Amino acid sequence: MNSEKSQLINDLIEVEDRIDELWEYHPENPNAIDVVDMFNELQSRAISLIQALEELDGEKDDLI
């Protein structure tokens, strides 16, 4: 296989992967991910992780 054909195949794979990713959010997908809900869930999770890290930092300070 020549290098041009190989590059075109790699480009096609990248485009198809991106199409698959976007389909998860596409309005015509009956099982689409709700971006607003996902955003809120991730923000909530980030807050929980930050709080857990702060608690661990506090525990280290108590041991010193």
pLDDT at position 3, please?
95
The whole-chain average pLDDT of the chain stands at 92
Mean pLDDT for the stretch of residues 6-27: 97
Predicted TM-score (pTM) of the model is 0.61
How many whole angstroms separate alpha carbon 20 and alpha carbon 28? 13
